[in-house]
Amino acid sequence: MRRRSVVIASFLAIAAIAVFLIGKAEVRVPVEPPERQHPSRAAATFAWSPGSGARYEVDVTSAITTGASPDAPVPPTIHISGILNMRVLSTDADSVLAGLRLSPVSCEIFGEFRPEMRDRFSLPFSALFGSDGTIKSVRLSPTLSDNERIVLGEALRSMQIVVSGDAASWTTREEHATGPYEARYERASDGAIRKRKVRYLALPAPMRVDILSSDTNARLSPTLWLQSAGGRESLAAFSGEAPLLRTTLAFSLKALPGTPDLPATLAGIVAMQKAGRAAASSTGAGTVVAISGDAAPASGGADEAATRFSASLDRFDRRNRATFDDLIAQLREHPELARDVAARLLAPGTDDATQAALMDLLGTSDTPAAQTVLLDIAGDPGASHMNALRAIIALGGVAHPTTEARDGLRSIARKEGGPDVADLSRTALLALGAVASTLRTNDDPAASSVTADLLAAIPEKEGPDLRVALKALGNTGDPAAAGRIQSYLASENAATRAAAATALRRMPDARTGELLLSSLANEKVPEVRSAVVRSMSQRGLDDNAFAALAESAPKEQSALVRGEMIRALAKGTDSFPAARDTLQRLLETEQDTQNLDLLRRVLSKAPKTP
Amino acid sequence: MRKKYLAWFLLLQLVFVLGGCSGGNDSVSLSQVSVRSVELLSRETVEKGHTVSLSVTLSSDADRNDLGISYYLLSKDEATQRIDSYHFGSTSIPVVSSGERIYAQSFVFSDDVPPGTYSLLLHVDPLETSLPDDIAYEAPGDVAITVAADGGKPDLVAHSLHAHSSYLVISQDEELGDGDQRDHISMTVDVESVAHDASNVAIMAYVETTAGYEPVRIWNSAGKAFENSLVLSSLDANVLQSVMLDLLVPPEVLARLEGKASTNVKVLIDPLDAIDENENALTLAGRTDDNELVEPVNIYAGAPVASKGDGGLDFQTSYSKGFDNKYFGADLDFLGKAWFGLNGIGASVSGTVPVTVLGHTFDFLGITSDAHYNPILPTDSAFDLDIEFAGITLYSQSGNAGFEWEKTWKIEKNLGYSQTFVIAVVPVEVSAGASGALGIKATVSVNSKFEGTVSPFVDVGAYASAAVNLVVAKGGIRGTLYLIGCSFDTKLGGTIAADAGATQLTGTLDETVGYTLSGPNGGLVIFVKWPKTCWKWHVIPYPCGWNEKDWSLVSWSTYSKTDTLLDRRQSVTVPLQ
């Protein structure tokens, strides 16, 4: 056993030496520590001489931790190190186009050296710098996956230094993939620049990033960009109040002597990127190990896929998200399996809860095949009425409605017959309204034709059909439909007026806001006034709406309407701090016991002042 | 065998160092920072959870920022030549000035280290982010640290307490005369058993009266009764447990709250000290007793469940329940109303269930229904029902006088979002959402034998994930939760008729509202997934699947309750003049 260990040890030692030598040959370069050797005063502004080039030794490490996690079994780090080659390709008055290449480079993910990433990360790319140092854009090789682009692009942006003439201190608003942030700079007497991120601005809600620490020190180069930079920052990311992750980023950049190893023109860079892409596609390396999200599900023959899908259906637990996601992935890979879902759904032994869940599965999968299956179920005389309704509702919720789905819904909406047929027809109208809204979101021009169909479907006679038709139009959120709906606010029938008010809740135009305010002032029937207030609240209160509600609520005679006003004002407390005062005043005058309860509850949810 | 693995380990270290994976630079001077001495400032005997203070004297040739230091405990067995090392703690010195200076450092000792006496080892800049190589320094023998056994004792900690409403409603009972007791206030408390599991952990609650803090009763979902304490059968170590508390103030205690406008509610974990705790395992700033939390609340003489309106009668029932922790939350608001008046007889129902996951709020369910019948002016009668999901009307039912409808209507929906968020250079995939069933049971009759019953139900779960997904490795948090299940059992209706001369309306009005609520169950875990490497002939590595490890982060205790909120029937006459 000992002899065998010695043999293995010898082998590994040789391998280690070989790796060392290869590493030396590829990564190591003679280094002359720039700051020590050139202690002269640093440049005050960036130098961007056309054609000039530079080489930097760079090292970026980012560690990620989650909450109070115990020691991770692998180091949760991303580590990139190597030589950054840089060359100015062109300049104009405001900006500088630079070619960049990280070569040689080494990458480690979670403690594992990833040699296959080296080839992709070492492809040249370009970056557009502002003359003040702002990195305006980074154009990376298409060979890189989205996540690799983020890692590499952000590694470069982490070294961004923005100057403001020769000022001693200044504040900037900068941006990177996390979002815009405010940074403060100070310039020391020897020209060294210190940058600190102060805070992130306007991140997409509810994300929040707290800067726990941030400190970067840099020196500008008298010849090109930076002489050196080094920094460290710790960030904590939250979603709402939930702590998600913490990261620590440490980076360094030091100028090296020598000629940069990258093409001198943009065309040369693009050609090298293309060559890299061709090489990646020929080896398959670009897809197998790219940092790009989950690997594609295992493919196989149709029979194999059906067998696997059937087993997944057997395991399906509607409360287990993983089983739902697994089925969705398979349905998207093999759309024909939607038929299997329908068969399972309509099988005699399938309980009602599972039928409802499988219908949702088909709608969420969003494939054209699934939409066809949903249409079939909606028109299947063998399907229960509830399942036909579910199929129509699921069609109304698909993310990419097909032409066939739209036509099918139109056809169902036009059917006439007994109560069940009428029920399906009305539900199809509502689903068409939802489809129009989705199409508008997708910028699909078909949206307007669906809205036009719904407008044409408005019955002349007042009654239940008209009320549902108005709500279907309301679902579109299409301002083109607002005028027609608004006209029914003047109906003699109170239920019609209430339906029109309800339908206007998704209409964003100013005219609708004005009409709802006018209706609130003139409407006598409490149920209609309640619908008006609910719509105002769902549209979101603007200054006029808030002022009208704050003024009307204490005078409102109907407890029902006051209740709706309290709810609307409560929703507006974030935007209108005065809403809380209004609610507090209402608390002193309200006589209705339910409204008193409601007031106390909504006031509880605002900042507490017991 | 052990020596064989030692040889492997050393060789792999050699590969790592020589391979240059760390990107180190061998041409840069290595001695820019050195450790001169280290001195322990806190006591030499430590237990898990103790704060350790020490001073480190460093000599640096230049100013530096954020210099990390990791501390390790070393035990050496002279006889076997075995050396074991354990992580003791880590700190960072924000600013290191050039020259020789002393830096005070402190950290919380939170690792599992066997009891014993150890020497101290320092690693300066262990990640080599500031220096070309980390610097190891072993403290002299007189710096000895003894790790004491914590005896397997947990430290029970109450982290936060928040009420669904800041009002303690003290007169909501007795209206029904059914002997059922209804809670006066509901709260969520987050508790943790630090370092070790704990079992049979009692929770008691108190309100502050003129006689001091007096115990109140807590709803026990398992026993389906209010009891003096709620006992959690087990608490897993280091997992935040959210517990819903429904509190009932006994009548004699209620009497001593009379005249007060506000009071304090106190929640105490392990009030009888039945569990032997290591109180030092976790110390919280500003907290003298980490087993106790106090929440101020207003006192409100709540609304009676039924009231008589002018010129007629109406019964109204509202119900609101909510719970949340930092990650998940749900609110349930329901209003049922039956009325009899000059305009006839009517019933309305409204309900909403907003679900919050990772700070996103989804309008999972919105229901409004209104039915009314006017025997004098039948054309003024109508029924309208709207069921909304995420702000879209999914289903609508309408009818005029004479409309009859009976239906159980149920669908399944899901909604959520997914986005890639970048923090520093790291792409993080965040996804969250809710899914489940929503529906109604309805019995509607728009005529003189009137019924406008619409009973909503909802059964919703939530999921959340925030993870770094680099294919070659993944890690973050993820979880699914059964969030809320609630069904209402209602009856809203009555009879109505006008007399021959249309001088008055007479009839009856009924309202019954009951509910069954089951609360959250499930939680979040921290996970990490990394490639598994297998070896062929002991020398050729190849990937062979994944390693995965997870730890619980947050979980909820099960909650359930069934109650009748209102059960009334009354005759009524309304003059039409």
Which of B121, B127, B89 lies closest to B108, judged by CA?
A: B89
B289 and B360 part of one domain? no
Distance CA B229, CA B74 (A): 46
CA of B4 vs chain A CAs: smallest distance (Å):
6
| Structural domain includes residue A532 | no
Which of A345, A192, A408 lies closest to B63, judged by CA?
A: A192
B267 and B165 part of one domain? yes
B375 and B412 part of one domain? yes
CB contact under 8 A, B424 and A467: no
Domain end call among A439, A457, A475: A457
Mean pLDDT, 10 residues at a time, over chain B (577 residues)?
Answer: 32 30 34 84 76 86 85 85 84 83 82 86 83 84 82 89 83 58 88 91 96 96 93 91 93 89 95 89 81 91 52 80 87 89 92 91 91 92 94 93 95 91 88 93 97 95 86 79 92 94 91 91 83 73 78 87 86 86
State what percent of residues in chain A have pLDDT above 70: 86
A459: left (phi over 0), alpha (psi -120 to 50) or beta: beta
CA distances from A199 to A179, A185, A186, B404 (A): 10, 13, 17, 61
Which of A441, A511, A424 lies closest to A476, judged by CA?
A: A441
B290 and B408 part of one domain? no
| Structural domain includes residue B110 | yes
Whether A59 and chain B come into contact, CB under 8 Å, resolves to yes
A278 and A333 part of one domain? no
A226 and A264 part of one domain? yes
| Structural domain includes residue A523 | no
| Structural domain includes residue B4 | no
Using a CB-CB cut-off of 8 Å, the residues of chain A touching B470 are 78, 109-110, 147, 291
Residue A462 CB partners (closer than 8 Å, separation 6+): A491, A493, A496
Give tens-digit pLDDT for A489-514.
999 999 899 999 999 999 988 899 99
Position B287 scores a pLDDT of 83
Domain end call among B283, B304, B325: B304
Using a CB-CB cut-off of 8 Å, the residues of chain A touching B262 are 610
CB contact under 8 A, B411 and A389: yes
Torsion angle of alpha carbons A379, A380, A381, A384, nearest 10°?
A: -100
| Structural domain includes residue B19 | no
Domain end call among B147, B166, B200: B147
Backbone angles phi, psi at A524, to 5 degrees: -100, -30
B371 and B492 part of one domain? yes
B191 and B245 part of one domain? yes
Position B178 scores a pLDDT of 63
| Structural domain includes residue B489 | yes
A158 and A276 part of one domain? yes
Distance CA B67, CA B473 (A): 28
In three-state secondary structure terms, B245 is strand
For chain A, the domain total comes to 3
Whether B468 and chain A come into contact, CB under 8 Å, resolves to yes
Distance CA A131, CA A46 (A): 7
Distance CA B486, CA B492 (A): 19
B242 and B380 part of one domain? no
A68 and A148 part of one domain? yes
CB contact under 8 A, A390 and B411: yes
Domain end call among A394, A424, A457: A457
A260 and A330 part of one domain? no
A311 and A281 part of one domain? no
In three-state secondary structure terms, A70 is coil
Instruction: Name the closest residue on chain B to residue A81, using Cα atoms.
Output: B23
Q: In this structure, what token pair is assigned to residue A524?
A: 């006598």
B143 and B159 part of one domain? no
A310 and A284 part of one domain? no
Q: Is the CB of residue B362 less than 8 Å from the CB of residue B517? A: no
**Torsion sign across C-alpha atoms B239, B240, B245, B249:** positive
Domain end call among B258, B281, B304: B304
ipTM: 0.80
**Which residues in chain B (444-463) have CB-CB distances under 8 A to chain A?**
461, 463
CB contact under 8 A, B435 and A321: yes
| Structural domain includes residue A300 | no
A279 and A316 part of one domain? no
CA distances from A546 to A315, A505, B286 (A): 51, 15, 41
Give tens-digit pLDDT for A243-263.
888 888 999 999 999 999 998
| Structural domain includes residue B12 | no
Domain end call among A411, A437, A457: A457
A99 and A189 part of one domain? yes
B418 and B562 part of one domain? yes
Band the pLDDT of A13: cuts 50, 70, 90: very low
State the best of A539, A604, A605, A609 to mutate against chain B, taking most chain B CBs within 10 Å.
A604
| Structural domain includes residue A193 | yes
What does the H/E/C string look like for B267-319? EEECCCCCCCCCCCCCCCCCCCCCCEEEEEEEEECCCCCEECCCCCEEEEEEE
Q: Is the CB of residue A240 less than 8 Å from the CB of residue B358? A: yes
Q: In this structure, what token pair is assigned to residue B149?
A: 């056994």
| CATH number of A140's domain | 2.30.230.10
A8-16 contacts, C-beta under 8 A, 24 or more apart: A8/B7, A8/B8, A8/B538, A8/B539, A9/B7, A9/B8, A9/B11, A11/B539, A12/B11, A12/B12, A12/B14, A12/B15, A12/B539, A13/B11, A13/B14, A15/B15, A16/B11, A16/B14, A16/B15, A16/B18, A16/B19
What ranges make up the beta strands (E) of A66-178?
Answer: 77-91, 95-109, 112-113, 125-130, 135-139, 169-176
For chain B, the domain total comes to 3
Whether A244 and chain B come into contact, CB under 8 Å, resolves to yes
Distance CA B500, CA A332 (A): 67
| Structural domain includes residue B40 | yes
A410 and A550 part of one domain? no
| Residue in the block written with tokens 């909606």 | A378
| CATH number of B203's domain | 2.60.40.10
| Structural domain includes residue A402 | yes
Q: Is the CB of residue B486 less than 8 Å from the CB of residue B460? A: no
State the best of A208, A232, A420, A609 to mutate against chain B, taking most chain B CBs within 10 Å.
A232
Q: Is the CB of residue B164 less than 8 Å from the CB of residue B322? A: yes
Distance CA A48, CA A57 (A): 19
CB contact under 8 A, A321 and B480: yes
Distance CA A115, CA A119 (A): 8
User: Looking at the predicted structure, is the pLDDT value of residue A610 above 60?
Assistant: no
| Structural domain includes residue A228 | yes
Q: What angle is formed at CA A608 by the lines to CA A606 and CA A609, rounded to 5 degrees? A: 125
A127 and A270 part of one domain? yes
Alpha carbon B38 to its chain centroid, in Å, reads 42
| Structural domain includes residue A497 | no
A248 and A311 part of one domain? no
In three-state secondary structure terms, B45 is strand
B291 and B316 part of one domain? no
Higher pLDDT, B22 or A579: A579
| CATH number of B65's domain | 2.60.40
| Structural domain includes residue B136 | yes
User: Looking at the predicted structure, is the pLDDT value of residue A285 above 90?
Assistant: no
Domain range holding B346? 307-577
CB contact under 8 A, A8 and B400: no
Closest Cβ–Cβ partner in A33, A64, A389 for B28: A33
Whether A28 and chain B come into contact, CB under 8 Å, resolves to yes
Lowest mean pLDDT segment, chosen from A115-119, A249-253, A268-272, A456-460: A115-119
Domain range holding A135? 31-288
| Structural domain includes residue B540 | yes
**Which residues in chain B (534-563) have CB-CB distances under 8 A to chain A?**
538-539, 547, 549, 551, 553
Whether A230 and chain B come into contact, CB under 8 Å, resolves to yes
| Structural domain includes residue A317 | yes
Backbone angles phi, psi at A273, to 5 degrees: -65, -45
Q: What angle is formed at CA B428 by the lines to CA B426 and CA B431, rounded to 5 degrees? A: 175
| CATH number of A390's domain | 1.25.10
User: Looking at the predicted structure, is the pLDDT value of residue A593 above 90?
Assistant: no
B218 and B338 part of one domain? no
Whether A418 and chain B come into contact, CB under 8 Å, resolves to no
B360 and B256 part of one domain? no
| pTM beyond 0.90 | no
CA of B398 vs chain A CAs: smallest distance (Å):
5
Position B170 scores a pLDDT of 73
Alpha carbon A264 to its chain centroid, in Å, reads 37
